Structure 1
């Protein structure tokens, strides 16, 4: 845990110094909370996560700059993965895992194409203290906590790199909607290639804004925001080819599903006073051979300006 805090502090200081040295300014902040309690309520598998972004760059002009590294995003994330039964799990179920990460990403545009490229340092295992956090949270709200056996069998301590790259292009469909196909590649903690599409209708979500994709749900959240009011509706889907996952170690006899599907929908609302909220649902397909069905996770974000 001390290593994590030290790395986070160093990254924040270095990023702030770099922003000042190259005449950058803070452009925005965004976050998204995911949990299956807001979805199917089952408390299993991809059970909970949080991702936040802080962005620095030159003056925002409605789109990312063309230069690689001009706009920088400091990304922090946490995720808990658990077996279906957190007391006495089936031997073929996935092991418990906690993951904390800190990373630096850049967003840029070349012509109509939008790119996001970056890397994260991911901390796995009991060193993250996420099992203790979940245990205390469940105890507070009188929810059954993970058993000692489940926590003892969790993914071991490790520190790993994770590289992420995405390319997408937005197409205007009429006056009130847009379509954005994208491709994504990840290598490190999980190695995969993904292709998908996002469709947005109504409001102003994404118009003159910077959106960042959540790693668990695939939902995109606002980081650099424009002034608009009303409702925006989003739907999307993607499919991935997966070659490796540290969360599903083969040495434990877990068979990795080579394809993963996600289907999502959500609604974004923003008032004239700047109060805003987002709620979305994502269906996650099976990730390993012992998983007999998919799951639904919810994603929420709210903002009340002061």
Structure 2
């Protein structure tokens, strides 16, 4: 793990003691809807390979609108805090580096897609956000990845990808995930703040098993409005929940993340059937840079993510862009 990730982990550990005494944020009666697109076409240069696309539609309910048994479970795990539920429908699509081969290189990343429904409990104090959730989904043709990618390419007149006949077979997925984000104020420059957001997250399930540590450093105004921008996991994500503390909120940020991945179905191939798959790179890292604004209850974020290789024989590095639009009502 990189020194920066170890430093973030150390700050997070220290932050856990101070956050135990933190006050609760005010109730928020608003709901939030988010539309998010992640795509290598949003990055320069666009390559249309590896993690080629991710789409997500999310809903966050108001504070307190949590079923009793989930609320009790959250308080039992995390202690006191304001609670909200988040529900996400998302699709992620992966392809090899050469998408014009009818029979893809067996050492390359396999064609794969996953369609999933995710339920998350978000629990906040003023200085800490805790997340726990579960996701059910499917990989293979039932994920509709081939239809979405090649259908969109046909609409815009682009070349379709040729090797989808070798994609992973249908397989259901079930995953449990959780994490914690700390909010540490470092400095204030005449109303413009500097803040560190260390984060620990992990997942256990048949689609992916990983543990990771990292954080983002951000500079702006109204930083207590959220815990960072939302990204499709496993990248650093502050979730879709936010409560503006001023009429116009803005910040720019940079972040690092170190991750150990024990299993990844979307790289290694199907569990119960023979399929294409390749060797997993267990130690991975990400770098993120971006910006976000909140105006009149609408949050817009843009993030560029740089990834280290996720599998053997892959390119030295990979990058993609992410845009998310959230509306409170």
Aligned positions, number: 276
Query: Per-residue displacement from partner, 1:101-144 (whole Å, max 9, x unpaired)?
Result: 10211011468442100000021110122211111100111211
Q: Decide which of 34, 48, 51 is 1:46's aligned counterpart.
A: 51
Distance 1:221 1:171, change over 3 A: same
Greater relative contact order, per chain length (Cα 8 Å cut-off, separation 6+): 2
Distance 1:204 1:52, change over 3 A: farther
Flag as ranges the 4+ runs of structure 1 deviating above 6 A: none
Distance 1:54 1:67, change over 3 A: farther
User: What's the offset of the Cα at 1:53?
Assistant: 2.4
Task: Give the Cα–Cα distance (whole angstroms) in 2 for the partners of residues 304 and 25 of structure 1.
Answer: 14
Task: Give the Cα–Cα distance (whole angstroms) in 1 for the partners of residues 136 and 312 of structure 2.
Answer: 28
Find out whether 1:200 has 2:218 as its counterpart.
Answer: yes
Partner of 1:120: 135
**Partner SS, residue 299 of structure 1:** strand
User: What's the offset of the Cα at 1:160?
Assistant: 1.1
Task: Give the Cα–Cα distance (whole angstroms) in 1 for the partners of residues 99 and 165 of structure 2.
Answer: 12
Partner of 1:242: 261
Find out whether 1:265 has 2:286 as its counterpart.
Answer: no
Task: Give the Cα–Cα distance (whole angstroms) in 2 for the partners of residues 115 and 171 of structure 1.
Answer: 15
Task: Give the Cα–Cα distance (whole angstroms) in 1 for the partners of residues 257 and 130 of structure 2.
Answer: 17
Query: What's the C-alpha RMSD, in Å, of the aligned pairs?
Result: 2.8
Find out whether 1:180 has 2:197 as its counterpart.
Answer: yes
In the superposition, the TM-score normalised over structure 1's length comes to 0.81
Partner of 2:68: none
Distance 1:246 1:68, change over 3 A: farther
Task: Give the Cα–Cα distance (whole angstroms) in 2 for the partners of residues 134 and 215 of structure 1.
Answer: 20
Find out whether 1:79 has 2:92 as its counterpart.
Answer: yes
Partner of 1:8: none
**Partner SS, residue 225 of structure 2:** coil
Find out whether 1:165 has 2:178 as its counterpart.
Answer: yes
- Does the 8 Å CA contact 1:69/1:106 hold for their aligned counterparts? no
Task: Give the Cα–Cα distance (whole angstroms) in 2 for the partners of residues 220 and 132 of structure 1.
Answer: 31
Name stretches of at least 5 consecutive residues in structure 1 with no aligned partner: 1-23
Q: Decide which of 230, 255, 263 is 2:279's aligned counterpart.
A: 255
- Does the 8 Å CA contact 1:237/1:264 hold for their aligned counterparts? yes
Partner of 2:226: 209
- Does the 8 Å CA contact 1:46/1:80 hold for their aligned counterparts? yes
**Partner SS, residue 143 of structure 1:** coil
Find out whether 1:137 has 2:137 as its counterpart.
Answer: no
Task: Give the Cα–Cα distance (whole angstroms) in 2 for the partners of residues 208 and 32 of structure 1.
Answer: 19
Query: Per-residue displacement from partner, 1:242-296 (whole Å, max 9, x unpaired)?
Result: 111101226646111011111000012345x556532210001100012032111
- Does the 8 Å CA contact 2:226/2:238 hold for their aligned counterparts? no
In the superposition, the TM-score normalised over structure 2's length comes to 0.75
